[in-house]
Amino acid sequence: MGKKKRGHPDVEDLLGRPWCYYCERDFEDLKLLISHQKAKHFKCDRCGKRLNTAGGLSVHMNQVHKENLTSVENALPNRQGLDIEIFGMEGVPEEIIQQHNQRIIQNFYTAQAERQAATGNPPRGLSGDQGPTKKIKYESPEELKKRLAEHRARVKAGGGIPAPAAAPVDGLSPAQGNPPFPPPQQAFPYPPPGVPAYPPAATGTYPPSVSPPPGGSFPPLPARPTVGGPTQPPGGAPPYFYNGAAATADELVANAARQGGGGGGGGGVRGDDIDQLIRMAEAGIKPARTGEEAREGGVQAEKKKKGSRMVYADTEVSPEERMAGLARYRWVGEGVVA
Amino acid sequence: MAPATQFEVAQPPNDAISAVVFAPDAPRRLLVSSWDKNLYLYEVAEGGEEASLVKTYEHRAPVLDVCFGANQDEAFTAGMDRQVKRIDLATGEQTVLSKHSEPVRCVVYSAQHSLLISASWDSTLHIHNTSAPALPILTIPLPGKPHALAASPSKLVVAMTARLVHIYDLPTLSTALATQPPTPPQPWQQRESSLKFLTRAVSCMPSDAGYATSSIEGRVAVEWFEDSAASQARKYAFKCHRQAAPEDEGGGDVVYPVNALAFHPVYGTFASGGGDGTVALWDAEAKRRMRQYQRFPESVAALAFSGDGKYLAVGVCPGFETGMEDYTGEGRTKVFIRELGETEAKGKGSK
């Protein structure tokens, strides 16, 4: 499909963008940033003259209008000072740069996680079906009730609130994409004390760095209702999570065994025979995967259809013709035109 | 900057609006055609922020379109009763010019060629020469039902079902009408609409360079008449008049039809009005949205700039949606007039 590439930039691109010390806005290039600063922060409100720096504006105000400049206009509350000389990206204190980069990274991962959650697409650079499966939004009342009952039982028994369901299941762990910059830990020392700045962008929307589980053993998963299907029988084989391409040889073996085992013994069949393994891998896994893909494709197509709703959807008959057919407007006067 | 003000017209039509139009040479004179079988003539007060009803002209059936004729006292209407009528606005006298075999959807008048063109759901165009009423009417068969019609100084654009767009050359029509017996000329160009869905509105650039079309699927396309590859490469389409649906309804967009298009007579920018009740001003050259006005209470049904480009008339009434069994615009139909600031509709030009 000739799908358009989405314009979601990389972290590097984002970090490379020049930005304004006074308002934290970022720009395509330095020229734009400088003209922004001249227009927004270094413009004289008396005569409209645009100066190059806050100091320049201060001198201009003093000499031309006999006034004292006290603060930079349109600046964030903690960035209004005249003591720092800023021109473009020059003069920005090192710790402020650090803070800005932190913020950009955090926002990037938050946005990425949200996008993935919203679209169900895998992270960039990962092939096809490795990514998170689409979040299932719909739960029937019965399922909800059942989940509530389960939750109550758990709370009663364990006394604890189960871990949030979203993180590991949805596979949003940024570690998967091997990003060049580690995502910041949840609580990072920004903003500095006493500084009213940005709200920490949606804390905890992505998991605090979950490392992929070694060798196919899955982290404990909270009960998630399987929609439309029977619940996994307890015990015996581990719950089958189709996780796309097997990450490790062990998993491949396990997958093959599960596929080959059919309705029978599940985990019991451990393929020692390499030939059999290969056969299974060829015969079993591949078709299974394409089936899975097809199903996912179907779900996505359905979603796309649902995605936009046309208020008027008749592609042949215009609204006016429909209205003309209503008794209220119908013309009956002449019958057949003479 | 001159203040931009907006006011509501007193005594609006009682039912849905089919068209609004300003007189080309009298920028304060406004005609509104309505499904309540009337044609309304309004006059915007001099310097004031109000417009009052001057006269109504009753028809036998809903009026589907209206346009001004050679002067500010002449108008033509397209009727559900299959008639094309000339209305003398001063005396109220009505003359039937021609009869179609189905309701007449659109009328358009070309002052340069003294031609009146009517388009009907019987899939024909009727061409009248209003300066020589004795001449017989020229009937041009169309391959589909016409849904929108617009004329530029030298071209006529007809948008039909099945995404058909025919462009006629007005001088050719004029000569074809004068020959005896009149033979229907071939279209100057036949195109497929760049929009995949049913065309809703067409409007031509006053510069005679091209036209814009809009569809029921929240999209507007801008195209050029010139048939060169370079010129055709310039055409584009964009999405508009959409709204994000609430998450609990499955997300995605609610896509509204773009019911009305109007080019500004002076600056060549254009306005679009959609089922979402908004009007947006676009710069066709720079491919930019210049403004989006505050949401109107109902769907925007019709738009018109005055001849001097000073006023924008906006006809609003409930939009007809898929599956509606019952429709009425009663009590919810309004006409707004926006007095534009001096540079409000002026584009920045292409970059």
Output the average pLDDT for chain B: 89
Q: b/e per residue, A60-69, with b = 16+ CB within 10 A?
A: bbeeeeeeeb
Given a cut of 80, whether residue A209 has pLDDT beyond it is no
pLDDT at A157: 78
- pLDDT value of residue B227: 85
Judged by DSSP in three states, A16 sits in: helix
Q: What's the structural domain count of chain B?
A: 1
What is the CATH classification number for the domain harbouring B172?
Answer: 2.130.10.10
Euclidean distance between CA atoms B146 and B160, whole angstroms:
4
Q: What pLDDT does residue B99 have?
A: 92
Residues 6+ apart with CB under 8 A from B278: B241, B292, B293, B294, B295, B296, B300
Indicate the pLDDT class of residue B291, thresholds 50, 70 and 90. Answer: confident
Q: Which of A167-171, B186-190, B329-333 has the lowest mean pLDDT?
A: A167-171
Mean pLDDT, residues A113-139:
63
Structure tokens at B307: 């001849």
Name the band, by pLDDT with cuts 50, 70 and 90, for residue A334. low
Closest CA to B173 of B123, B117, B111, B227: B117
Asked whether residue A327 carries a pLDDT value surpassing 80, the answer given is yes
Give the residue-averaged pLDDT of B78-91. Answer: 93
B274 contacts chain A (CB < 8 A): no
Inter-chain residue contact A334 with B80, CB threshold 8 Å: no
B252 neighbourhood in chain A, CB within 8 Å: 306-309
Does residue B24 have a pLDDT over 50? yes
Residue B175 token pair: 């000569």
Nearest-angstrom CA–CA distance, B240 and B218 = 5
> What's the mean pLDDT in A106-120?
84
Q: Are A324 and B103 a contacting pair at CB < 8 A?
A: yes
CB neighbour list of residue B28: distance below 8 Å, 6 or more residues apart:
B22, B43, B44, B45, B46, B51, B306, B311
At residue B222, the pLDDT reads 94
Chain A CB within 8 Å of residue B320 CB: yes
What is the ipTM metric for this complex? 0.86
Distance of residue B15 Cα from the nearest chain A Cα, in angstroms = 10
Comparing B190 with A137, which gets the higher pLDDT? B190
A211: confidence class by pLDDT, cuts 50, 70, 90: very low
Task: Give chain A's mean pLDDT.
Answer: 65
pLDDT at A6: 62
Mean of the pLDDT values across residues A113-136?
63
| Residue B127 located in a structural domain | yes
A207/chain B closest Cα distance in angstroms = 23
pLDDT score, position A281: 54
**Alpha helices by DSSP H, chain A:** 11-16, 30-40, 54-64, 94-119, 141-158, 166-170, 249-261, 274-280, 286-307, 319-325
- Give A137 to chain B, closest Cα distance, Å: 9
Q: What is the CA radius of gyration of chain B?
A: 19
- Within-domain flag for B14: yes
Chain B residues 6-65 with CB within 8 Å of chain A: 16, 18, 35, 60-62, 64
B133 in a structural domain: yes
Task: Check residue A150 and give its pLDDT.
Answer: 86
To the nearest whole Å, the CA of A120 is away from the closest chain B CA by 14
From the list A306, A315, A323, the residue facing B197 with the nearest CB is A315
Is residue B9 within 8 Å of B335, Cβ to Cβ?
yes
- Distance of alpha carbon A278 from alpha carbon A15, whole angstroms: 46
B301 pLDDT more than 50: yes
Higher-confidence residue of B86 and A162: namely B86
Mean pLDDT of A54-74: 86
Alpha-carbon distance B288 to A88, whole Å? Answer: 28
Q: What is the pLDDT of residue A158?
A: 67
Mean pLDDT, rounded, for B56-81: 93
Least confident piece of the model among A139-153, A231-245, B94-108: A231-245
Domain extent listing, chain A = 11-92, 244-292
Residue A221 has pLDDT above 60, yes or no: no
- B197 versus A167: which is more confidently predicted? B197
Q: Which stretch of A156-160, B80-84, B145-149, B267-271 has the lowest confidence by average pLDDT? A: A156-160
For the ranges A40-49, A140-149, B136-145, the maximum mean pLDDT occurs at: B136-145
Out of A249-263, B283-297, B303-317, which region has the weakest mean confidence (pLDDT)? A249-263
Show which residues on chain A lie within 8 Å of chain B, measured between beta carbons. 118, 306-316, 318-324, 326, 328-331, 333-334, 337
Q: Provide the shortest C-alpha distance from residue B322 to chain A (in Å).
A: 5
Of all residues in chain B, the one with the smallest CA distance to A310 is B255
A56 contacts A43 by C-beta, under 8 angstroms: no
In a domain, B112, yes or no: yes
% of residues, chain A, pLDDT over 70: 46
